[in-house]
Amino acid sequence: AGQDMVSRAGAVTVRKMVETTKALLQGLEGALILRAGFIAGCFHMWRCETTLSRAGRLYQDEFLRHHNEWGSHLEQTRGHYESELQRLQRIAGERKAKFGRQQEMVMDKWLKGDKVGLLTEVWRCWNQYAQTQKGIKSRREKTELMVNEWYQGKAKGAATSGFHAWHNLAVHEKMLR
């Protein structure tokens, strides 16, 4: 009976040791599962954040590319419409001036008679043409001077422009003789 007691006590001790070991292993296994789950959750959260960040960056780049394309298209369209508006305003101004000249001619002819009124209008048109040509020539000479000064330097460019102006004047004088 003594040995039976030892076996019973040994069996109880072994059982308690097995239960304790089992409880410890289950506790460690649970702790490891929690830690692995936490680490896996952190990893997946990081992976989702980086994927979203990359997708956001790609979207932003694509958006900026399209934004720049639309911006340049808008500027091009705006420039086209502004130039068209200027062209139409210039045409309207020319028509208005032409109508004004016609009106002045009719009034001059009516007030001064046909021949004197027509002669006055011809004189006015010739004078306006001469002034326009003078302005065009002046702008052309100024542009030539600026380009020569930029290209050759200030002194040499001015000398070249002066020589060209003198040459053109001499040719013009020769034609008038």
pLDDT digits (tens, 9 = 90+) for 153-166: 888 988 988 888 89
Contact between 118 and 109 (Cβ < 8 Å): yes
Residue found under tokens 């003789």? 177
| Angle separating helix axes 114-152 and 2-112, nearest 10 degrees | 140
Residue type, 83: S
Residue type, 177: R
**Residue 119 in this model has a pLDDT that exceeds 90:** no
- Taking the whole predicted model, whether its pTM rises above 0.75 is answered as no
**Residue 2 in this model has a pLDDT that exceeds 60:** no
Beta carbons within 10 angstroms of residue 157's beta carbon? 18
| SS3 (DSSP) at 120 | helix
Beta carbons within 10 angstroms of residue 110's beta carbon? 10
